[in-house]
Amino acid sequence: AQSVAQPEDQVNVAEGNPLTVKCTYSVSGNPYLFWYVQYPNRGLQFLLKYITGDNLVKGSYGFEAEFNKSQTSFHLKKPSALVSDSALYFCAVRDREGYSTLTFGKGTMLLVSP
Amino acid sequence: NAGVTQTPKFQVLKTGQSMTLQCAQDMNHNSMYWYRQDPGMGLRLIYYSASEGTTDKGEVPNGYNVSRLNKREFSLRLESAAPSQTSVYFCASSRTPSTGPLGELFFGEGSRLTVL
């Protein structure tokens, strides 16, 4: 079975400060990892993914995520937060081996204050 | 660029009524999915269709049926709605089945369903 944990329901950060949204995962084999963002009353939008190779993945809107196999983590980061980054963020995982669909975490609300 | 289109956007039902949520994608994707989103529970997969002609159960299929009408369209039916099915429903599609690394999902805007 595969699962994702997002330990924080909400993250608060001031505009201009760095932000981190945490994600840990569990799969039986090796993972494909994804981050999605959801703005109010909208569907989810793909931000970035880790497939293989460099552990630091760069995505849309200046976001990046670091894959850490030993800690089974895939934290989302941005060096300087914007008020417009305020949204609900979802981490998702899929096992590389065999056939499986994407499993989402429960989501973390990011609030960036001016 | 329409992407994934869901209808209706809002619906109120009484317990026991039936309804169908429609979903269409214009990206020539092979795989389509129905998720429900509930507060504090994230997204849970109801049913999916890896390719035209196939459908499979996800995590929470009870009370739902699906039809992959053609490559573009994937509908979700509630035969006898219950208050526990009050939720926001999202349709999604992906280019490849979930076996590959390229299967990032493209989501519709959601359908908000209330069952009284």
What mean pLDDT value characterizes chain A?
A: 92
- Quick one: average pLDDT of A20-36? 93
Question: Is residue B61 within 8 angstroms of chain A, CB to CB?
Answer: no
Q: Which amino acid is at A97?
A: E
Output the pLDDT for position B39.
Answer: 86
- Quick one: average pLDDT of A34-53? 91
Residue of chain B whose Cα is closest to the Cα of A6? B42
Contact list, A106 vs chain B (CB under 8 Å)? 40-42
Tokens at A94, concatenated: 């899929």
Cβ separation A101–B98 shorter than 8 A:
yes
Considering only the beta carbons, identify the residue of A52, A100, A107 that sits closest to B98.
A100
Cβ separation A104–B42 shorter than 8 A:
yes
- Whether A34 contacts A91, CB under 8 Å: yes
Output the pLDDT for position A94.
Answer: 86
Output the pLDDT for position B34.
Answer: 96
Q: What is the sign of the dihedral through the CA atoms of B62, B107, A1 and B56?
A: positive
Per residue in B79-94, pLDDT tens?
999 999 999 999 999 8
Flag whether pLDDT at A95 surpasses 90. Answer: no
Please report which confidence band the pLDDT of residue A89 belongs to, taking 50, 70 and 90 as the band edges.
very high
Flag whether pLDDT at A109 surpasses 80. Answer: yes
Rounded to 5°, angle at Cα A90 from A86 and A96: 150
Flag whether pLDDT at A111 surpasses 60. Answer: yes
- Quick one: average pLDDT of A49-75? 93
Number of A–B residue contacts, CB under 8 Å: 59
Contact list, A51 vs chain B (CB under 8 Å)? 101
- Whether B11 contacts B19, CB under 8 Å: yes
pLDDT in tens for each of the 116 residues of chain B? 679 999 999 999 999 999 999 999 999 998 999 999 998 888 999 999 988 889 999 999 999 999 999 999 999 999 999 999 999 999 999 887 654 555 688 999 999 999 99
Residues for chain A: how many in total? 114
Q: Rounded distance, CA A69 to CA A61, Å?
A: 25
- Quick one: average pLDDT of A44-70? 92
Q: What distance, in Å, lies between the first and last C-alpha atoms of chain A?
A: 41
B26 sits in the region (left: phi over 0; alpha: psi -120 to 50; else beta) called alpha
Output the pLDDT for position B99.
Answer: 47
Q: Rounded distance, CA B27 to CA B2, Å?
A: 9
Rounded to 5°, angle at Cα A50 from A47 and A56: 90
- Please list the helix, strand and coil fractions of chain A in percent, rounded to the nearest 5, in that order: 5, 55, 40
Within a 10 A sphere around the Cβ of A55, how many other Cβ atoms? 12
Residue of chain B whose Cα is closest to the Cα of A98? B99
Residue of chain A whose Cα is closest to the Cα of B38? A106
